[in-house]
Amino acid sequence: MNSENNSVGGGNTPPPRGRGWGRGLCLFPGSFDPFTKGHDDIVRRALGLFDEVVIAVGYNEQKAGWMPVEERVATIRKLYADEPRIRVESYTGLTVDFAREQGITAIVRGVRSTSDFEYEMQMADVNRQLTGIETILLPASPQFASLSSSVMRELAHFHHDISEFLP
Ligand code: ADP
């Protein structure tokens, strides 16, 4: 083995390209109820790391969302209509089951806070143990870190215009 490629954090050797992490397909799952500028930021950054991003809109058959799932999917598809490297699908059930069905081995999630982090760490660990699927956590950009779908729903419920927070 070449000792240059074997060093950790040493020298100026870039990470090997090709079958390393960060190429291929990733899944960005969420409820996206609604899809905010914070979600859009994660999608665009994931595109810099992966060849293709599949946005997976999760729904619960027992519980209606704020916005019907078909509408969420249609809105996000329209947003990325000119981006051939983004696909939008809906799914129900376990995220890792959907990821496996789609042949995807990496999940991307955004982290806004320590409470997000604790939850995401737990999910990432369970998902990896169950299926070997790895999770890449991207820190929220500071300008979007306080955006959440639940706050958007709350504002809309009280008739506030939320358009400035949506992409
Ligand atoms: P879920 O119900 O699965 O948490 P969400 O639609 O709320 O779905 O969020 C999907 C993903 O996007 C999660 O990883 C969440 O942490 C992340 N996310 C939500 N809002 C933001 C934001 N403002 N900035 C960065 N990531 C975010």
More confident residue, 5 or 128: 128
Whether residue 4 has pLDDT greater than 80: no
Per-residue DSSP letters for 101-124? HTT--EEEEEE-SHHHHHHHHHHH
Average pLDDT, stretch 37-41?
A: 98
In the prediction, which pLDDT does 52 show? 95
Residue recorded with tokens 């870190």: 145
Whether residue 22 has pLDDT greater than 70: no
The candidate with the shortest Cα–Cα distance to 35, out of 86, 71, 87, 82, is 71
Whether residue 34 has pLDDT greater than 90: yes
Nearest ligand 1 atom to alpha carbon 120: 14
Q: d(Cα 64, Cα 92) in Å, to the nearest integer?
A: 12
In the prediction, which pLDDT does 35 show? 98
Q: Is 87 a catalytic residue?
A: no
Which amino acid residue places its CA nearest to atom 4 of ligand 1? 30
The candidate with the shortest Cα–Cα distance to 52, out of 12, 78, 94, 80, is 80
Model-level pTM?
Answer: 0.88
Residue 10 to residues 17, 21, 22, 102, Cα–Cα distance (Å): 17, 19, 20, 36
Q: Is 149 a catalytic residue?
A: yes
Q: Is 77 a catalytic residue?
A: no
Q: What is the pLDDT of residues 51-110, one digit of tens each?
A: 999 999 999 988 889 999 999 999 999 999 999 999 999 999 999 999 999 999 899 999
The reply to whether ligand 1 has any atom less than 6 angstroms from the CB of 34 is no
Kindly indicate the confidence band of residue 13, based on its pLDDT and cuts at 50, 70 and 90: low
In the prediction, which pLDDT does 109 show? 98
List, edge to edge, every strand of the sheet that includes 25-30: 86-91, 52-58, 25-30, 106-111, 134-139
Which amino acid residue places its CA nearest to atom 21 of ligand 1? 38
In the prediction, which pLDDT does 44 show? 97
The reply to whether ligand 1 has any atom less than 6 angstroms from the CB of 112 is yes
In the prediction, which pLDDT does 20 show? 45
Nearest ligand 1 atom to alpha carbon 147: 23
Percent above pLDDT 70 for the chain? 87
